[in-house]
Structure 1
Amino acid sequence: MSGVRWVTVRVAEVWRRGRELQVLERSMAFGALFLVTLMPLLVVIAAASASRGSGLAQWITDGMGLRAEGERAVRDLFSSRGRTLSTTTVGGVVAVAVFGVSLMASVQGVFERIWDLPRGPWHSAARQAVGLAGLLGYILAAEWSGQLGQSTVLQPGLRIAVTLAGGVLLFWWLQHLLLASRVERRLLLPGAVATVVALVGLWFFSYLVLAPLLVANAVSYGTVGTVLVVQSWLVGVGYTIYGGALLGRVVIRPSAPQAGPSAPGPGGAE
């Protein structure tokens, strides 16, 4: 098969499988779950951090390529450190963390459908909690990399290395974790790389389209306009995660997924 033919067949299959899996609808669910579960948790973690970084706001502004007015609009969405900590209870943090696991359950369900696997074993909830911690750690590390070595020539390279290399490792590990080792690690690497490449593409799209739109909406509609654009970007993040994993699956095309020793149980989620 020629190179052009191979690419055409793979693209057609990605499109067909994406429609079967309803990737767009699941990406919208990802954006909504991220907004209502992970964002409050990240705000609290950033407020309690001893560093002077701006936590979640900085991660969003970096991911969307925001500057000046757009960056200020996103920062205005989040409370100050003192107010956040003074109005947060331990029970509230625990509740948000528990609901955050539902996001990982949703991601796990999509990964399992991409690889044509049955629902995960009974201890999937524990894996989902670990996956949630890993995702939070990556977001905080990406933000921290922007604070280390500021005003030095090494800082941009450090930030890019942490964001890109860390992203490949995160999504490679996250697939392996949530799929309960039922697919060989080497088969998951192309999907992780494709996810990070897609996230880079999303950054350019955000810089050219969403960033100007956010500024215009912030002026016209205030906080609501900012939230709507950020929500749209989060849907794009979900689309790249699912689309990258699907592209990796289509490129590899193993004859059958590698089954692990555990029998499938009722603990997974779709």
Structure 2
Amino acid sequence: MTPEPPGAESHPPRPTRLYRRIASSPIGLGWNRGREMELLHRAMGFAALGFLTLVPLLVVVAAADPASGQGFARWLGQALGVSESSQEEVEQLFGMPGTALQRTTAFGLAALAVFGLTFGSAVQTGYEKVWDLPTARWHTLWRHVIWLALLMLALLIFVNTPVPSGSVPGVIGAALADLVGTCAFFWFSQWLLLGGRVRWGALLPGSVATALALLGLRVFSQFVFSPLIASNAVTYGPFGTVLVLQSWLVGVGVVVYGGALVGRLFHEERVRRRLERELLPDEPLDEDEGEQS
């Protein structure tokens, strides 16, 4: 066998060096962290629980709100940013809000509330996986109640906010207000569901990333999901609309968990740079300065 030249092990092949460089980059770290916490699977669970448990509760709450005449379909249409034709398909899928309120019993409301708390527990577990925290005990259930009530309030404010005029300042102002409100909601949501185990300053980058990503998802929905709702409604009927809504909820789940993950990576990088600055050794003195001292 031909002996390897000295120092060969210290210089790995170029593909290996490229792989290590990508793995140590922010994108590589985010990919590995997302794979470890099963980000896509959790997003799909978020979509399934959201459609199975949260959507019926929101339909009833929307019907009980006198200022929201079009019910949950209007909420969902505004969040998706769909066109008028697609909005009609969504409204036909969820029916009339008044009928939903009349046919809902006290037992049904109690069951919906329990399902909503289950959804809050799933979101809390996702945040705990992002920050590598142990699962909270059952006595933290009151946090899910508060979070669910805040979510209802945020959606009510969102749907009752008047649509901005076509002027550029009005659109920009509405977008900024939406960003600030969304950021504040997810900032407090992370702190509440995590039980204050993570500092406010560490949670802020993830809240900003989530708000920006939700705005991007809304723009994306206008060009992708809105035409899909119209075409799938013709091809598959109401079931096609359900498929598109489920796909959109998967995207929301990726944004909610992925935004928190990006915030943690940003926080860790900021802490690492600060520690490097603090731990840098003092610069050596010149010989003249050493003699004078």
Structure 1 length normalisation: TM-score?
A: 0.86
Looking at structure 1, the residues matched to 174 and 106 of structure 2 have their Cα atoms a distance apart, in angstroms, of 33
SS of 2:132's partner is coil
Instruction: Indicate if the aligned counterparts of 1:115 and 1:249 stay in contact, CA closer than 8 A.
Output: yes
Alpha-carbon offset, residue 124 of structure 1 = 1.7
- Which residue of 1 is the match for residue 209 of structure 2? 194
Report the residue type matching 1:80 in the other structure: M
Of the candidates 124, 127, 130, which is equivalent to residue 143 of structure 2? 127
Looking at structure 1, the residues matched to 33 and 61 of structure 2 have their Cα atoms a distance apart, in angstroms, of 37
Of the candidates 81, 84, 89, which is equivalent to residue 68 of structure 1? 84
RMSD: 2.2
Report the residue type matching 2:135 in the other structure: R
After superposing the two structures, state which structure 1 stretch, 121-130 or 83-92, moved more: 121-130
Instruction: Indicate if the aligned counterparts of 1:142 and 1:162 stay in contact, CA closer than 8 A.
Output: no
List gaps (5 residues or longer) in structure 2: 1-20, 273-293
Instruction: Indicate if the aligned counterparts of 2:23 and 2:29 stay in contact, CA closer than 8 A.
Output: no
- Which residue of 1 is the match for residue 230 of structure 2? 215
Say whether 1:108 aligns with 2:109: no
Change (3 A) 1:60 1:16: same
Deviations 1:159-208, CA, capped at 9 Å, x for gaps: 43442211000100000001000000110000000001111121122112
- Which residue of 1 is the match for residue 115 of structure 2? 99
- Which residue of 2 is the match for residue 238 of structure 1? 253
Alpha-carbon offset, residue 6 of structure 1 = 11
Deviations 1:96-134, CA, capped at 9 Å, x for gaps: 111111111111111111111111144221101111111
Looking at structure 1, the residues matched to 131 and 95 of structure 2 have their Cα atoms a distance apart, in angstroms, of 41
Change (3 A) 1:170 1:7: farther
Say whether 1:13 aligns with 2:29: yes
Alpha-carbon offset, residue 156 of structure 1 = 4.3
Change (3 A) 1:210 1:187: same
Say whether 1:163 aligns with 2:163: no
Determine which structure has greater relative contact order: mean sequence separation of CA pairs < 8 Å that are 6+ residues apart, divided by chain length. Answer: 1
Change (3 A) 1:35 1:59: same
Percent identity (aligned): 43
Report the residue type matching 2:63 in the other structure: A
Change (3 A) 1:145 1:181: same
Deviations 1:20-77, CA, capped at 9 Å, x for gaps: 1110010000011111111111111111112144242122212222012111111111
Looking at structure 2, the residues matched to 180 and 128 of structure 1 have their Cα atoms a distance apart, in angstroms, of 11
- Which residue of 2 is the match for residue 54 of structure 1? 70
Report the residue type matching 1:142 in the other structure: F
Instruction: Indicate if the aligned counterparts of 1:53 and 1:144 stay in contact, CA closer than 8 A.
Output: no
Looking at structure 2, the residues matched to 90 and 164 of structure 1 have their Cα atoms a distance apart, in angstroms, of 36
Looking at structure 2, the residues matched to 249 and 152 of structure 1 have their Cα atoms a distance apart, in angstroms, of 37
Structure 2 length normalisation: TM-score?
A: 0.79
Looking at structure 1, the residues matched to 245 and 38 of structure 2 have their Cα atoms a distance apart, in angstroms, of 22
Which one has the largest radius of gyration? 2
